[in-house]
Structure 1
Amino acid sequence: MNIALIFGGKSSEHEISRMSASAVLKWLVKGSNDDSEKNEILKLGIDKEGRWFLTEASPEEIFDGRWEDKNNNRPAYITPDPLAHGMVILDEDRFIYKKIDVVIPVLHGDHGEDGDIQGLLNMAEIPYVGCGVATSANSMDKSLTKKLVGYTKVRQAEYIEIRKKEYLEDKDGELLRIKNKFKGNYNLFVKPSSAGSSIGASGIKSEAELPRAIELALKEDKKVLIEEKIVGREIEVAILGNDEPKASEVGEILSAGEFYDYDSKYKNPKSRTRIVSDLPRATIDEIRSKAIEIYKALECRGLSRVDFFYTEDGEIVFNEINTFPGFTSISMYPLLWQDRGISGEELIKDLIELAINQE
């Protein structure tokens, strides 16, 4: 097969995409080399300006961004023409068409997890790893996710959404609305409704901190989600499958910071992840069951990571879902499947198979 790996992107999570793509590429190469008929891997990098290039970069060059400096990069893009069923490459003074059998869109954030790239691939009629347009869009927008998950019986944190236009026109009125919603409790989380990796997110404890936290979140999105702070263990479940998804064991985040923000995830080596083994089997299975319930409610396919809080009172509270979770060396999703004996290269093979057989 011709397998296209797309990475980078015009997104605040550009660097994380490169980190994930580097790991996926290593597993993809190893898995392809193990096959009797080797697959061709086409690496499509998107820079921060949104320009697409076909590159021969190594995993290491993708990881640190050196791929952009390679002299043999060629402009290339996925064409929406379903008869072409692939990409167009500009090679000197001519265009070359290259058929693609399946795409792995290792793109986080805007234009990657929000349905944009999925819509393009649907038009091109090229199978791709991960959720479809509607699921990607609804899951990227945390306030929409909460409304849809609200139809299940899974407990969620109380929340309110703030829109940029209304906030700028009537700041005092919006702040009062927040105060009334949470009855004067300012132990809250403030985050962009449609950004990942905790970019633009803040935990606050006082009324004075609220405006700055909202303004920080508004730099990332026009809509801000404000939630009650749930005190509990941060736990995650990896889901794999289409119509009959399966859940991994439960993983736990041990954040070096007050909460698992961008710095705690990617810059603080003291943050750790582990497999949960100190909860009753019935509780672990209940968490896994709720993760699958949410996965199905949002009509996910391929993969997702479902995040919860587990409180001291034994309450399971849904936090959020990530339809294309990270694949970095510290990411929970591949680690949870490795715990089940599924290697990185086996996981990528499974995801490709699910993409091709998604009907």
Structure 2
Amino acid sequence: MVKVLVLYGGTSSEREISLKSGKAVAEGLKKAGYAVEVLDVNKDNLAEISRIKPDVVFNALHGKYGEDGRMQAYLDLLGIPYTGSGMTASIIGMNKILTKKILTCENIPTAEYVVIKRKGFVPEDVSSIMDKLGCPLVVKAPTQGSSIGTHIVKNAEALREAINDAFNYDDEVLVEKFIAGTEVTAALLGNEDPVVLPIIEITSANEFYDYQSKYTPGMCQHIIPARITKKAETKVREISSKVYKAVGCRGFARIDFIVDKDDQPWVLEINTIPGMTEMSLVPDAARAAGMSFEELVDRIVKLALQ
């Protein structure tokens, strides 16, 4: 019997979501016939990974220290296979600024943006940002997930406040031109030749798909199939595969888009360890493709063992 160690919890701002993902994954793997152990990771218990001697690690850590390449590098040193992307792709995917640079380099459509550094930033800078990008704008803390540190702003004062809030998480802040449209997401499964699962449209009770909307029952809807044209869906699928390969992902990932009124999809970000809770998008997409949760986690483990 293959022994799987599920890493979950951790110390990032997404700890609570990771705990839920990890518990769901562990239950799914047990039902799929694996021998499962779990580890709530912190800096004092990393040696437990070697002691347990898993055949493979299922990494359900979200955010810093689990999703950002550090855990991937540690597992590489130990020689233990693990689910999801490797160190380099994880570093890129976790940092929205690095992701934007890769997208731009690969001519993949993404919103125009600027990067603000804490050192040297003065309140007067907001005028030049608005002159360049217009308004509304989206402000993001680049290394946070679950929309933590993300704001949609519509005036200079709100922009100043949002940038200062994002500086609570990072020393750099990403400011993007706001694009109106339909928010959709594409989940992908595979290594060199990923399969794009059914596209999901996301609606939210709040202004955008923020932390509260994501994790509060009844505050969002996952609509399958997405209410976009066939032309737009084809573009989303093509661009998703291109992003996955450009970043160097493997195993599974999720790519978020806005589709504008002209059927043009714009990439928002990539998630290299997407949520696996009862409200998460990847399990929903898999279910729409006829795949149970147990079959999904089994498939992800098998991709890691390849």
TM bucket by the smaller chain? Answer: over 0.9
Larger Rg, first or second structure (1 or 2): 1
Answer yes or no: is the 8 Å Cα contact 2:127–2:156 preserved in 1.
no
Q: Which has the higher strand share?
A: 1
Which amino acid counterpart does residue 46 of structure 2 have in structure 1?
Y
TM-score, length of structure 2 as denominator length: 0.95
Give the corresponding residue for 1:332. 281
Q: 2:78 aligns with which of 96, 120, 124?
A: 124
Deviation at 1:29, TM superposition (A): 1.1
Q: 1:148 aligns with which of 102, 114, 120?
A: 102
Higher RCO (CA-CA < 8 Å; seq separation 6+) = 2
Answer yes or no: is the 8 Å Cα contact 1:11–1:108 preserved in 2.
yes
Could you tell which deviates more after superposition, 342-351 or 124-133?
342-351
Partner Cα distance (2:87, 2:201) in 1: 29
Q: 2:66 aligns with which of 104, 112, 115?
A: 112
Partner Cα distance (2:300, 2:94) in 1: 20
Runs of 4+ in 1 over 6 A off after TM superposition: none
Deviation at 1:115, TM superposition (A): 0.2
Partner Cα distance (2:14, 2:30) in 1: 24
Deviations 1:255-280 (A, max 9, x none): 11001111111136231111125433
Q: 1:139 aligns with which of 93, 103, 110?
A: 93
Q: 2:207 aligns with which of 253, 258, 264?
A: 258
Partner Cα distance (1:277, 1:216) in 2: 33
Answer yes or no: is the 8 Å Cα contact 2:140–2:151 preserved in 1.
yes
Answer yes or no: is 1:174 the counterpart of 2:137.
no
Deviation at 1:354, TM superposition (A): 0.8
**RMSD over aligned Cα, in angstroms?**
1.5
Question: Aligned pairs, how many?
Answer: 305
Which amino acid counterpart does residue 129 of structure 2 have in structure 1?
I
Answer yes or no: is 1:222 the counterpart of 2:222.
no
Partner Cα distance (2:152, 2:226) in 1: 28
SS of match in other structure, 1:237 = strand
Partner Cα distance (1:193, 1:177) in 2: 21
Equivalent residue runs for 1:51-70 within 5 Å: 51=43
SS of match in other structure, 1:148 = helix
Partner Cα distance (2:233, 2:273) in 1: 23
Equivalent residue runs for 1:187-226 within 5 Å: 187-226=136-175
Partner Cα distance (2:280, 2:295) in 1: 17
Partner Cα distance (1:338, 1:78) in 2: 36
Equivalent residue runs for 1:274-289 within 5 Å: 274-289=223-238
Gaps of 5+ in 2: none
Which amino acid counterpart does residue 253 of structure 2 have in structure 1?
S
Which amino acid counterpart does residue 80 of structure 2 have in structure 1?
I
Q: 1:241 aligns with which of 190, 193, 198?
A: 190
Deviation at 1:312, TM superposition (A): 1.5
Answer yes or no: is the 8 Å Cα contact 2:252–2:272 preserved in 1.
yes
Q: 1:161 aligns with which of 115, 127, 139?
A: 115
Which amino acid counterpart does residue 28 of structure 2 have in structure 1?
W
Give the corresponding residue for 1:43. 38
